[in-house]
Structure 1
């Protein structure tokens, strides 16, 4: 076999291998980013839900899911951790 053709074949094979690596890398990154968006959307949904802001005034004991949370869900979401 012609030596130059062999070199070209090896170069093409290497290029295909490199292309696979670069194509898979962005897919993994996009998947990670979508997961992070979902986590943050859940946290924002918790704080946006009006029922979590309801307060009860039984003998001046004020209670709501938001007050009891103390920002735990928000801090976890900012770290990229799911709270479920």
Structure 2
């Protein structure tokens, strides 16, 4: 049975400790979205433009991360 590089990495405690402090891609996305929303004063259109995404995508991500309820997101879209 051969040992893969991944097997060695998982068995080496020094290497696995290196990855403990790395945030997940989802966590990085959350942090970045919050920074942009704070920087724009919560202005969704401007935040979406900076992020390079559609406003609807921004609303969806806010709901996904539990920052707004579905009702709040609908109300914001209608403003």
Q: TM-score, normalised by structure 2?
A: 0.35
Q: TM-score, normalised by structure 1?
A: 0.33
Relative CO higher for 1 or 2, CA cutoff 8 Å, sep ≥ 6? 1
Query: Larger radius of gyration, structure 1 or 2?
Result: 1
